[in-house]
Amino acid sequence: MSKKIVNWGVIGCAGIAKSSVIPGILNADNARLYAISSRGESKLEEFRKAFQPIKSYSSYEQLLEDPEIDAVYIPLPNGLHCEWTIKAAEKKKHILCEKPMGVNAKEVKAMKEAADKNGVLLMEAFAYRHSPLIQEVKCLVEEGSIGKPKFIESHFGYYYMNPENVRMNKNLSGGATYDVGCYNLNVIRHLAGSEPISVYAIGEIEEDSKVDISSCIMMEFEGGLKAVSYCAFNSRERSEYTIVGEKGIIHVPVMFNAQGDTKVIMTNDSGKQEITIHCPQNYMLEVEQFGRCILEGEEPLISYDDSLNNAKVIEEALSQIFK
């Protein structure tokens, strides 16, 4: 592609689009917010006034028909990701799909097949993976700063039990594991550098909505590494992860998508060290990286295999929780 700017369309006026991804598009050096779409006129007007896109559409289909749009961002409820990714691919749009990409491995495969068939790129929107914070932590682990990793724990939870929210809608694939547990599983797999050989999961299912409002997922990897993910909708807010090695510990006590000065605390034979890492807005970094994939042929940071394998772990865990 000879152009230097990606024209973006946003399918759905979701909260994550408003707070994070659209600001990321507006601040990215290779992106233009070209169009937004919503089925609700009041929401569409709100976004129009706030972000001033070139065009706005009252249906997702109309946005996909616009030939000026190069890529779309899909922040729709989880249960709609597969449907609209395939529809976007069929209209030759590159797709940045909010996590989790699909609600199971079958969906992820279908989404990838549609993208390949139509010659477009597809990437799951795990913005935190674009941050210098996780990149520094990965380097510390790989260079042996704490010796061989033996245990990884990741926790992501908050209190949000609004029955009207899509996160609590079983038909739209709501639930804590899809919403925030997916972060835990992704960071654990990323730092482990391999896939779990066994998964054991327990969880709490909300009586009325029938979604999981918490889950605890235990995993074992080749070489003896163990890991635990805990996520919840019914706990005090907490977001952090820890890697315990034979010779030290790395603790990351910050939100996954923290911005500004963040810290990593490492304790090993040399003592305790607090490492400060400045993080730009991760969503801007994500948009810019996907833009380079479209414009320059760079490989998506979140690969298809990564998305597929994360979906497989989620699927296995939920099958045990809902058995």
The pLDDT of residue 3: 76
The pLDDT of residue 21: 98
Model pTM? 0.96
Cβ atoms of 38 and 44 closer than 8 Å: yes
Positive or negative CA dihedral for 56, 60, 61, 64? positive
Number of continuous H segments (helices) and E segments (strands) in the chain: 11, 14
Task: Give all strands of the β-sheet with 94-98 in edge-to-edge order.
Answer: 55-57, 31-37, 6-11, 71-74, 94-98, 122-125
pLDDT cut 90: percent of the chain above it = 98
The one-letter amino acid code at 116 reads D
Cβ atoms of 38 and 12 closer than 8 Å: yes
For the record, the structure tokens of 196 come out as: 């779990």
Chain centroid offset of residue 222 CA: 25
Instruction: Please tell me the distance from the alpha carbon of residue 234 to that of residue 254, in angstroms, as a whole number.
Output: 19
Q: 157 in helix, strand or coil?
A: strand
As a whole number, mean pLDDT of residues 144-163 equals: 96
The one-letter amino acid code at 227 reads A
Contacts of 51 (CB under 8 A, 6+ apart): 22, 26, 33, 36
Q: For residue 1, is pLDDT > 90?
A: no
Cα separation values, 256 from 13, 49, 178, 186, 194, Å: 22, 29, 15, 11, 21
Number of CB atoms found within 10 A of residue 296's CB? 10
Question: What is the Cα gyration radius of the chain?
Answer: 20
Give per-residue pLDDT as tens, 169-227. 999 999 999 999 999 999 999 999 999 999 999 999 999 999 999 999 999 999 999 99
Q: For residue 131, is pLDDT > 80?
A: yes
The pLDDT of residue 2: 61
The DSSP-derived string for 160-185 is: ---TTSGGG-GGGT-SHIIIIIHHHH
pLDDT cut 70: percent of the chain above it = 99
pLDDT, averaged across the chain: 97
Q: 274 in helix, strand or coil?
A: strand
Q: For residue 252, is pLDDT > 60?
A: yes
As a whole number, mean pLDDT of residues 255-284 equals: 96
The pLDDT of residue 173: 98
Residue 307: pLDDT band with limits 50, 70, 90: very high
Give per-residue pLDDT as tens, 74-113. 999 999 999 999 999 999 999 999 999 999 999 999 999 9
The one-letter amino acid code at 4 reads K
Map out the domains of the chain with their CATH numbers.
6-126 (3.40.50.720), 132-279 (3.30.360.10)
The DSSP-derived string for 7-63 is: EEEEES--HHIIIIIHHHHHH-TTEEEEEEE-S-HHHHHHHHHHH--SEEESSHHHH
Could you identify the residue written with the tokens 């940071």? Answer: 301
